[in-house]
């Protein structure tokens, strides 16, 4: 089962970076990570999973999230947007492998906290080496958010640290909190989707410029 592309950059990439997230909404921190991943990849794909096994579905509708990442992808060269059926990193990578040409190097983009989580996850007796197989097939591009990820020595050749600007205090939940509280929030989301975010999250017209 391959990815469903919402927008595709017209390149034939040798290296692709998959950037999955719930995008509720995308923030300037997410955009900074995507740009950093672009330094490694010919194409960075914003990915919205249909199923998110570790998060509850609340806030923006699925269709609204699709639209936000599509707009972000269209805003700059080298970015695409897609929907995946699976929600786990391994599932998303498998779907990408079905789409891209043989020989394309496919990496996964994630934050330090997510890297630590999947490295230490208990995959059970049926798949004790699941993490080893994942990074053997797909390099990890890890954003140094709230500290750098420190991989085990045997994994260092498969893990790339992405530089991360001073956006440690920026998160989707903070954007939602500010909107709910009537506080300034637009500076925390990419300019190209700010008006869309206002409509999706029901910003009062009197606060539309905040």
pLDDT string in tens for the chain (210-residue length):
689 999 998 778 999 999 999 999 999 999 999 999 999 999 999 999 998 776 677 889 999 999 999 999 999 999 999 999 999 999 999 999 999 999 999 999 998 888 888 888 888 888 788 889 999 999 999 998 777 888 888 888 899 998 777 787 899 999 999 999 999 999 999 999 999 999 999 997 555 556
Q: Is residue 25 part of a domain?
A: yes
Residue 42 sits in a domain of what CATH number? 3.40.50.620
Q: Is residue 59 part of a domain?
A: yes
Host domain of residue 91: 4-202
- Using left for φ > 0, alpha for ψ between -120 and 50, and beta otherwise, residue 81 falls in beta
In which order are the strands placed within the sheet that holds 15-20? Answer: 4-7, 79-84, 43-49, 15-20, 105-111, 140-143, 159-162
DSSP 154: G
Query: What tokens does 66 get?
Result: 């699709």
Q: Is residue 209 part of a domain?
A: no
Q: Is residue 9 part of a domain?
A: yes
Gap between the Cα atoms of 16 and 9, Å rounded: 11
Give me the phi and psi of 105, to 5 degrees please: -85, 125
Gap between the Cα atoms of 16 and 138, Å rounded: 10
Query: What tokens does 98 get?
Result: 């079905």
- Using left for φ > 0, alpha for ψ between -120 and 50, and beta otherwise, residue 158 falls in alpha
51 close to 33: Cβ distance less than 8 angstroms:
no
Q: Is residue 37 part of a domain?
A: yes
Sequence-distant (≥ 6) Cβ neighbours of residue 178 within 8 angstroms: 184, 185, 188
The predicted-structure confidence for 179-204, as pLDDT tens digits, reads as follows: 999 999 999 999 999 999 999 999 97
Quote the number of domains for the chain.
1
The predicted-structure confidence for 111-127, as pLDDT tens digits, reads as follows: 888 888 888 888 888 87
Q: Is residue 188 part of a domain?
A: yes
Gap between the Cα atoms of 45 and 92, Å rounded: 11
Q: Is residue 102 part of a domain?
A: yes
Sequence-distant (≥ 6) Cβ neighbours of residue 147 within 8 angstroms: 112
Q: Is residue 58 part of a domain?
A: yes
Question: Model-level pTM?
Answer: 0.92
């Amino acid at each position: 089962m391959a990815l469903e592309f919402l927008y595709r950059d017209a390149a034939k990439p040798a290296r692709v970076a998959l950037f999955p997230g719930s995008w509720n909404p995308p923030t300037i921190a997410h955009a900074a990570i995507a740009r950093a991943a672009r330094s490694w990849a010919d194409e960075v794909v914003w990915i919205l999973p249909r199923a998110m096994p570790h998060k509850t579905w609340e806030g923006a509708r699925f269709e609204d999230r699709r639209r936000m990442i599509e707009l972000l992808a269209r805003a700059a060269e080298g970015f695409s947007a897609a929907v995946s059926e699976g929600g786990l990193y391994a599932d998303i990578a498998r779907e990408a492998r079905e789409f891209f040409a043989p020989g394309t190097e496919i990496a996964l983009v994630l934050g330090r906290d997510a890297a630590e989580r999947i490295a230490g996850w208990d995959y059970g007796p049926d798949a004790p080496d699941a993490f080893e197989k994942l990074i053997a097939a797909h390099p990890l591009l890890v954003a140094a958010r709230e500290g750098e990820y420190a991989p085990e020595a045997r994994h260092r050749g498969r893990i790339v640290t992405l530089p991360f600007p001073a956006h440690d205090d920026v998160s989707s939940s903070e954007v939602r909190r500010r909107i709910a509280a009537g506080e300034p929030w637009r500076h925390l989301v990419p300019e190209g989707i700010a008006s869309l975010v206002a409509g999706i999250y029901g910003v009062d017209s009197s606060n539309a410029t905040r």
